[in-house]
Structure 1
Amino acid sequence: MSDVTIYAPSPILTVTVEDHPSGNEVHVHAGGQGVWQARMLRRLGMEVTLCAVLSGETGGVLRHLIEDEGLRLVSVAREGRGAAYVHDRRAGERREIVAEQGDPLGRHELDELYSVMIREGLETKLVVLSGPAGDDVLPAETYRRLASDLRTVGARVVVDLAGDRMDAAVAGGVDVLKVSHEELLDAGLISEPTEEEICAAMRSLRSRGAECVIVTRASDPSLFHDEHGVLEVTAPQLETTDTHGAGDSLTAGIVAGMSRGQSAREAVILGAAAGALNVTRHGLGTADAGAVAKLQELITTRIVDDGAEERAEGRSNRESTDDADTRAEGDE
């Protein structure tokens, strides 16, 4: 049985061209948020099941690439165009040549994949909900239903989503939400990325259904919020080769820690180490497990808020509700 199940509705076939002393070097891999998270989880020693829809010719290629990485693939096959991109990195920076999000998923594929996720979630009890590359691939409402149903059957749910998908998942209820400060800005949850505004946004997200929230802030320390308050998490600033996939690696590290029995607050240390190391490599969702383990020793944390005020407010709200209920009973 796998340790983790990942919802990856529309994986991406990635083609990257790099410079080589003998000429051009072409790399072909499976990609997309869920795949990058799964790849890092495998590097950290986790057994992973990836649930996905594979479309047309690109889907046939993706099947082999995903299985060759040692991932257990449970897929729904369909005709049509799949997601793919071609990047030119010969000059050092990524330059997008082609980017195709693929055809939107139909009702039949969505229903089949939904059933697969519930079945696999019942087995692993730890699920990651990731998003596709395109905005129109599937309805955001899918994430609310999945988060709610998976938690109903006893699975813990971790999401790394933004915009309408994030709102939908949080409304369904999640154990851990990972989001970036840029995504909070885009959603209008903050007007500027100050610590005060981000903490207020995290409190709001917790009140709406996210038990734990972690906000990445590019090169600045991440912020983590749970029932015990707010924690600042600082990782060493390593030389950056490619920032793509760092957030997915952080999410994977948190999930790996939770799979090993850690709380989300404890697991965020492993996540920070995995994310910090990913930027030193060209491959997305890659890092050496031994290096990640050692780097954890250099992660530092600082208590920003011990949560006392929020807990007191929660008690006050409960007492007000109890008093109102008592008065209502007396009026009967």
Structure 2
Amino acid sequence: MSSEVVLFAPLPVLTVTIEEQGGEPDIHLHAGSQGVWQARMLVTLGAPVTMCSVLGGESGTVLRHLIEDEGVTVRAVQGTGHNGAYVHDRRDGDRQEIAEAPATPLTRHELDELYGLTLSAGIDAGAVVLSGPSDQHTQHDAVPPDAYRRLAADLRAVGRPVIADLAGERLAAVLAGGVTVLKVSHEELLEDGRITDTDQDSIVKAMHTLQDEGADNVVVTRADEPLLLLAGDTVSEVRMPRLQAADSHGAGDSLTAGVAATLAKGGSLDEAVRLGAAAGMLNVTRHGLGTGDVEAVLKLRELVTVTALGSSARGSSAKVTPQDLAERARGS
């Protein structure tokens, strides 16, 4: 098994951003979507990355070149439609949407091809990340949720670690298939109705429910609060220095990338969460989504602490050391 990470990123999006440089418009073209941002950080961390997507139309042609230029191997199905695209104006400092063209929903044939392509690549990989379309909320019909359930189940059946960063119906579907690590934010738990309060006890209870539904391990991000990790029956708090934020977008995707890169190399969950937290921490200091410097990430990793809170909500509150947690994670 290689240390390669395979990304299921079904429909990346083409982004056109207008900024200002020296009093003149400065236009940038980039590939976007959750999977692209995760891939970008994986490349930064030195992990070999293969992205499995559907690319179609003029936007798809441009996207292939942009993604490959970032050092990502692209395995794509030729779509009969087109990928999504949007134009944003940031000349006044805020994002103003000028126009957005949603992606064409996948045909049954395209979805079957993408499924087979991802499964084939995943069998040879060290870990597989399942990410959503460019907008998981507005593109409900672009990729049916059940595709995530089947893909997670089949990848687990062939012994591959599966990391998922999804919300809504796709989250429920991937849990039914089973995942090694589920990453979710407290905002997504609120939006999905899995919690009604953001206090720690409510979140921990929801994490146990997610585990019962099919996640071996659960990571919950809480904006400026420490991350929470559930491994086995042990809940831990993941703390890191609070750096000055330039843009928090993409921090969760960088976290997911760090977890995937470590697990693909056979590292423990404790090591994976530390690297992921460091990658996410550095990302918020930058304007580029999923960007960072590997040397800085590795230095910040040494400042991340994982403190076990005990077997919260499911038994005794006996304390467990970080070493105990790491041993449990290796066995999960």
- TM-score of the alignment, normalized to the shorter chain, above 0.5: yes
2:235 aligned with 1:234 = no
Paired residues of 2:6 and 2:125 also in contact (CA < 8 A): yes
Q: Which residue of 2 aligns with 1:122?
A: 123
Q: Which residue of 1 aligns with 2:270?
A: 265
Q: Which amino acid aligns with 2:9?
A: A
1:2–1:65 Cα change, 3 Å:
farther
Distance 2:220 2:96 in 1: 27
2:72 aligned with 1:71 = yes
Q: Which amino acid aligns with 1:156?
A: P
Distance 1:304 1:92 in 2: 41
Q: Secondary structure at the match of 1:124?
A: coil
RMSD: 1.6
Distance 2:206 2:13 in 1: 31
Distance 1:90 1:239 in 2: 22
Q: Which residue of 2 aligns with 1:202?
A: 207
Give 2:165's match in structure 1, choosing from 149, 152, 160.
160
Q: Which amino acid aligns with 2:59?
A: T
Q: After superposition, where does 1:53-92 map in structure 2 within 5 Å?
A: 53-92=54-93
Paired residues of 2:204 and 2:312 also in contact (CA < 8 A): no
Q: Which amino acid aligns with 2:223?
A: A
Q: Which amino acid aligns with 1:84?
A: A
Paired residues of 1:101 and 1:137 also in contact (CA < 8 A): no
Q: Which residue of 1 aligns with 2:97?
A: 96
Q: Which residue of 2 aligns with 1:181?
A: 186
Q: Secondary structure at the match of 1:237?
A: coil
Q: Which amino acid aligns with 1:49?
A: T
Question: Which is helix-richer, 1 or 2?
Answer: 1
Give 1:275's match in structure 2, choosing from 280, 305, 308.
280
1:116–1:253 Cα change, 3 Å:
same
Q: Which residue of 1 aligns with 2:12?
A: 11
Paired residues of 2:3 and 2:265 also in contact (CA < 8 A): no
Post-superposition shift, 1:81?
2.8
Between 1 and 2, higher relative CO (CA 8 Å, sep ≥ 6) is seen in 2
Q: Which amino acid aligns with 1:40?
A: M
The size of the alignment, in residue pairs, is: 312
Distance 2:313 2:246 in 1: 41
Identical counterparts, % of pairs: 54
Q: Which residue of 2 aligns with 1:328?
A: none
Distance 2:179 2:108 in 1: 24
| TM-score, normalised with respect to structure 1 | 0.90
Post-superposition shift, 1:260?
2.6
Paired residues of 1:235 and 1:298 also in contact (CA < 8 A): yes
Distance 2:91 2:114 in 1: 38
**Which stretch of the first structure deviates more once superposed, 271-280 or 254-263?**
254-263
Q: Which residue of 1 aligns with 2:321?
A: none
Q: After superposition, where does 1:34-49 map in structure 2 within 5 Å?
A: 34-49=35-50
Q: Which residue of 2 aligns with 1:108?
A: 109
Paired residues of 2:17 and 2:27 also in contact (CA < 8 A): yes
Q: Which residue of 2 aligns with 1:141?
A: 146
Paired residues of 1:2 and 1:48 also in contact (CA < 8 A): no
Post-superposition shift, 1:307?
5.8
Post-superposition shift, 1:297?
1.6
Q: Which residue of 1 aligns with 2:223?
A: 218
Distance 2:19 2:235 in 1: 42
Distance 2:216 2:181 in 1: 6
Post-superposition shift, 1:2?
6.2
Paired residues of 1:125 and 1:154 also in contact (CA < 8 A): no
Q: Which residue of 2 aligns with 1:23?
A: 24
Distance 1:142 1:303 in 2: 35
Q: Which residue of 1 aligns with 2:51?
A: 50
Post-superposition shift, 1:22?
4.4
Post-superposition shift, 1:187?
0.9
1:289–1:264 Cα change, 3 Å:
same
Q: Which residue of 2 aligns with 1:329?
A: none
Return 5+ residue gaps in structure 1 as ranges: 313-332
Distance 2:11 2:99 in 1: 17
Return 5+ residue gaps in structure 2 as ranges: 318-332
Q: Which amino acid aligns with 2:190?
A: L
| TM-score, normalised with respect to structure 2 | 0.90
